[in-house]
Amino acid sequence: MHNHLDTLEAQVQANKKRSIWAIIAFFGMINVIFVILVLVFGNFQDSNNPYQPLLWLGILEVILGLYIAIQYWQNGQNILRMNKGAEIGEDTANPDYKKVYNIVTEMSLAAGLPMPKVYIVPDPSPNAFATGMSPEKASVAVTQGLIDLMDREELEGVIGHEMSHIKNYDIRISTLSIALVGFITILGYGLLRVGQSMMYAFGGRRSSDSDRDSNYTQLIGIAMMAIGGLIIVLGIPLSYLLEKFVSRKREALADVSGAELTGNPMGLIKAFKKLEGPVPNARVLSPNTSQLMLVEPLFGKEGKRSWWARMMDDHPPLDERIKNLELVLGEQGGTDEYDLN
């Protein structure tokens, strides 16, 4: 049993490291783009200042930092408003809501976390999510569909999963990965559009006095369009793949650490098995926050999906998540290996 837990903890730590390396890869990719921009556009300047490339690189890093800070600031309550969540308290009269509130209280005590705010989302699609940049500012939301579908044991498994997201700072990591994808997308399309504007603005000039300046500006425009095009063709798809990879790893981690928190993997297993069946399409939940959900919400997209579509999923397939939890429970062959892929 002790070896069983040691192996589980090793897999949890390995999963965390994969997520961290993916975030490092994000920053590495963005900084490669920054260096290319500085080197390319540095050739169009007449300055003899050897520190000017470093100055421009620093400016780009500051812009990136400000963008990430804004994304952090906008997170949290905006997500709850986007999904039309209504806060409940200890004095709620609804017995189902009271049950949810009590489970969140129990899980927060078990995890050693401050009590998060609790929200109910009026959506028939069974789902749940956690938000907040820190445990002190965290919130847990469950949909009406989840409350209607799950018994107490299953709700404990689901809420344990969400509390694990809070404990593991997964919301902060998810927000960071989404912000980096957004920054790369804005950078790619921004360079392309500015380069096109420069080409159109100066492409028609032919007077002898302005030929040199016009050609100079056109070269800059071409360079911006080329770099923007490469970012759009290569950088954006790669950044999306990295974002989805991080999300799937954090979901797998929360499944296992949530099972540890409740001490009962069967609760989440039973919940996932119910979610394998037909469920209503999401009507209130926002597609923009699907990465934070317990399971990939349906927005009218059902049926068999291609390998590429699965690579773009925010969550591992339910059958894989069930299998991992059954391994934690020791129900499959007695193996001590826990694959969180």
Report yes or no: 251 and 224 within 8 Å, Cβ to Cβ.
no
Tell the burial category of 126 from Cβ atoms under 10 Å away from its Cβ (0-12, 13-18, 19+): buried
Report yes or no: 145 and 279 within 8 Å, Cβ to Cβ.
yes
Q: SS3 for 293?
A: strand
Phi and psi at 120, nearest 5°, equal -115, 130
CA 117 to chain centroid, in Å, comes to 21
Report yes or no: 103 and 155 within 8 Å, Cβ to Cβ.
yes
Report yes or no: 338 and 324 within 8 Å, Cβ to Cβ.
yes
pLDDT digits (tens, 9 = 90+) for 112-150: 999 999 999 998 989 999 988 788 889 999 999 999 999
Does this model's pTM top 0.95? My answer is no
Higher pLDDT, 330 or 186: 186
Residue 89: predicted pLDDT: 93
State yes or no: is 162 an active-site residue.
yes
Average pLDDT of 247-253? Answer: 88
43 has pLDDT over 90: no
99 has pLDDT over 90: yes
Task: Please list, in sequence order, all residues whose beta carbon lies within 8 angstroms of the beta carbon of residue 2, skipping any fewer than 6 positions away.
Answer: none
As a whole number of angstroms, the longest Cα–Cα distance in the chain is: 84
Residue 314: predicted pLDDT: 85
CA 66 to CA 339: how far, in whole Å? Answer: 37
CB atoms within 10 A of CB 306: 8
Domain at 78-169+280-321: CATH code: 3.30.2010.10
Q: How does strand 86-88 pair with strand 128-131? A: unpaired
- Of 143, 126, 158, 113, give the one whose Cα is nearest residue 264: 158
Tell the burial category of 187 from Cβ atoms under 10 Å away from its Cβ (0-12, 13-18, 19+): buried
CA 239 to CA 220: how far, in whole Å? Answer: 26
1 has pLDDT over 50: no
Residue 112: predicted pLDDT: 93
- Of 77, 26, 24, 20, give the one whose Cα is nearest residue 250: 20
CA 224 to CA 74: how far, in whole Å? Answer: 30
Task: Indicate which residue of 156, 162, 243, 260 is catalytic.
Answer: 162
Domain residue ranges of the chain, discontinuous segments joined by +: 2-75+171-247, 78-169+280-321
